Structure 1
Amino acid sequence: MTALKTGQVQRTYVIADRGDRPAARGWFHLVAAALSAISSAVLITFGWMTLPWPQALGVTIYGAGVVLLFAVSAMYHRWPWRSVEAVQWWRRADHATISVFIAATYTPLCLIVFEPRTAAIMLAVAWAGGIGGAVLNLVWINHPRWLDVVVYVGLGWIIVPLLPTLWSSAGPAVVWLLFAGGVVYTLGALVYGFKWPGRSARYYGYHEHFHTATVVAAVCHLVAIWMVVVAH
């Protein structure tokens, strides 16, 4: 024991960790946050140089959503938070940004590809779902895990009725990239929901599978949005 001199105060710090986790937890999203900040900055700049301002604003919302998703996740999973309250609030933010990010991904696609009325309806539905999902996680973070899966997957596939329009206006390559990203996101959500293959892994567990899926799917959608922006 170290003796304290008069006037000194001994402080004890306790890390409010979330228990044993695989060593890779959070690293994929930390790298993705840095890379998405760069790619989004380039995309947003290009958008404002070439598109009308409403469409450029949509690109900006998307870019901000990508960075927010990965940055918040990286902060939650990697930072050694010193209180249980901080951990819980960052957990809420981490889950809330997912549905907001999905709505943000729809935004430039709708504003650039669809006619105004269709875009307005689609964005109203997407953002109602995105905000609703965020509120759900902010006020009831301990809800059943399957509810998140239903919200994320359902919100991610609401564009299906408009695929013919998207195919004719944006092209097959964009649709296939969006479809591939959607499939990967869905598989990741199912892995998250069923906790497969468990959280007892030493290096790479079910949450890492989920995070890897989000990164791969985000890249697919980023390329698709780049193609839409450049073509218009």
Structure 2
Amino acid sequence: MQNFSKLLLIIFTESFRTHQMDNKEDLNENQQEDKNDDHTSHILKRISECKKTQEKIKPILNEEFKPALRGRIHQIAFYKTIVFIFFYLGVSYYYYMFKLGIMIHLLSQLALYGISSAYHTIKWKTERMRRFFQRLDHTSIFLLISGTQTSVFITLLPEVKRSIIFLITTWSITIFGIGKIFLFTNIVEFVDVLIYIVHGLAVIPFFKLLKQVLRPLDWVLFIMGGAFYIVGGIVFGLHYPNPIPTIFGYHEVFHVLTVLAEMCFMIPMCVRYIKALK
């Protein structure tokens, strides 16, 4: 009986010691988990701080490495377009001859040059604002392409029913492009360039319509304008050539080509308008 009592005492003692050790191990594990949690929280906090720092620094770095003429070409074109719009409104009022197509073209130019010059010349305080205006900048390219194509078709082919099909096509591409820019931000920008080129070439199936009204000089200017756009898109996508990176880089080459392209498309309509005034 005494031996049995000792046995029970030993079993109880061992059980108690084992229980204490288990509790100690659990405590150590909990402490270790707490330490791990604290370490994880610390890492996440540092990552968040790094992201905030990066967001503050990136606009500064972007400003530091911008060529001196970044955005200035489109800024000049923006002011030129404003002057041209007022001049056109004055002439159309004086002669009682207002062409919607020309106004659409001018407004689409104004949108692109205004947004582009603002995006490239303003010193953005946060990366989020810079990225937002960058998307607006890319969006305005679609608006300009559709605005240009719309102005050509409704000015030169106002009563042709098939031109309506083209207008639906070009603005559908614009809506698709804008959706891509704002909804699928992780897709590389070169995809935007491909869509721009496809957008510009969407007019090819409708050449038969244009053939009825275009003159030789019109064809030359329109083909030159399309070529300027395509080459500009390639320059933008490849970041080449980059003549003087600190003053006049690849982006400035792209901007010059877009301005030249717009002039090529604008001249035929202005010539038609001036002749109609006589």
Output the TM-score relative to the length of structure 2.
0.71
For the 8 Å contact 2:155–2:269, the answer to whether it is kept is: no
Query: Shift of the alpha carbon at 1:198?
Result: 4.8
For the 8 Å contact 1:184–1:217, the answer to whether it is kept is: yes
For the 8 Å contact 1:174–1:224, the answer to whether it is kept is: yes
Query: Shift of the alpha carbon at 1:231?
Result: 4.7
Aligned pair 1:42/2:87, yes or no? yes
CA distance in 2, matches of 1:229, 1:125: 26
- Work out the number of aligned pairs and report it: 215
Task: Summarize deviations over 1:22-64 as a string: whole Å, max 9, x none.
Answer: 111111111111111222333355457325xxxx333322211
In structure 1, what is the equivalent of residue 233 of structure 2? 189
CA distance in 2, matches of 1:118, 1:101: 21
In structure 2, what is the equivalent of residue 76 of structure 1? 119
Higher helix share: 2
SS at match of 1:197: coil
In structure 1, what is the equivalent of residue 70 of structure 2? 25
For the 8 Å contact 1:92–1:138, the answer to whether it is kept is: yes
Cα root mean square deviation, aligned: 2.2
Q: 1:158 aligns with which of 197, 202, 205?
A: 202
**Structure 1 140/44 Cα, relative in aligned 2: closer, same or farther at 3 Å?**
farther
**5+ residue gaps in structure 1?**
1-13
In structure 1, what is the equivalent of residue 143 of structure 2? 100
CA distance in 2, matches of 1:82, 1:203: 23
Query: Shift of the alpha carbon at 1:123?
Result: 0.5
- AA aligned opposite 2:137: D
- AA aligned opposite 2:256: T
Name the % identity.
25
For the 8 Å contact 1:199–1:207, the answer to whether it is kept is: no
In structure 1, what is the equivalent of residue 166 of structure 2? 122
- AA aligned opposite 1:73: S
For the 8 Å contact 2:242–2:248, the answer to whether it is kept is: no
**Structure 1 45/87 Cα, relative in aligned 2: closer, same or farther at 3 Å?**
same
Computing the radius of gyration from Cα coordinates, the structure with the larger value is: 2
In structure 1, what is the equivalent of residue 187 of structure 2? 143
Output the TM-score relative to the length of structure 1.
0.84
Higher relative contact order (CA 8 A, sep 6+): 1
**5+ residue gaps in structure 2?**
1-55
**Structure 1 229/213 Cα, relative in aligned 2: closer, same or farther at 3 Å?**
same
